[in-house]
Amino acid sequence: GGGGGGEGGGEGGEAGCEGGGPRGVWRYYLQAPLLWYDEEEDGSVSGPCRQLSGSAQLAADLGEVGWRWLREACEAAGALPFKTAQLWAGHGGGVTPCHYDALHNFLAQLRGSKRLLLLPPSESYRLYPYPVGHPMDNFAMADLCEPDLRTTPALAAARALEGELHPGEVLWLPRYHWHQVRQAGASDENLSLNFWVGEKGTTEFASTVRSAPLRPPPQPPPR
């Protein structure tokens, strides 16, 4: 996939961990591209930047985005060009299952909060990815909400970072890094903007995964 597997427009569905696990409760969210460039087969962008039409207020709000800061951040990360800006709108409680995206991503929180689990590409084997060519081949089969170590025993050795994203904060998500995103609050409004930037790095990702150790990482020393 190009940009987003979980957090890509139109209407989509997120599963909720509460009340019966990720397959027990479904909550819907709006996922809509606001600005984008057409992408060629080689991943390059072409033509003028296109914008979702029909809302003068939306156009004015997009003008308030810190585009200069974004470009400077992209240059510092070696992640140009800008490709797409997307809006995410929900009512809280939903979870986007663990997945990776093929492009770098700046995730900006506007309203409400999101809780994230972040894992590097080296943890791929422990997450049991769907086979290449499967419609969900950028998603993990392992269930991080209700782990079943009988069917996914290597998950017990996975190591993740956990954090929260609040309004006014921006998270840098490098391409091919696994992440699970949960909207905090059962019924609170939740709004985010994300910006897909840079090029795909399939060869780099494959090399990282193949060289990842299969043994559990060393444990930190006791405090």
How many other CB atoms are found less than 10 A from the CB of residue 208? Answer: 15
Question: Which pLDDT score, from 0 to 100, does residue 208 have?
Answer: 65
More confident of the two residues 41 and 36: 36
Question: Which pLDDT score, from 0 to 100, does residue 10 have?
Answer: 44
Q: Is 71 helix (H, G, I), strand (E, B) or coil?
A: helix
Centroid of chain to Cα 196: 10
pLDDT above 80 for 186: no
pLDDT above 50 for 117: yes
- In the beta sheet, which residues pair with residue 130? none
User: pTM of this prediction?
Assistant: 0.80
From CA 1, how far away is CA 5, in angstroms rounded?
A: 7
**What does 188-220 look like in DSSP terms, one character per residue?**
--EEEEEEEES---HHHHHHHHHHS-SSPPPPP
pLDDT band at 9 (very low <50, low <70, confident <90, very high): very low
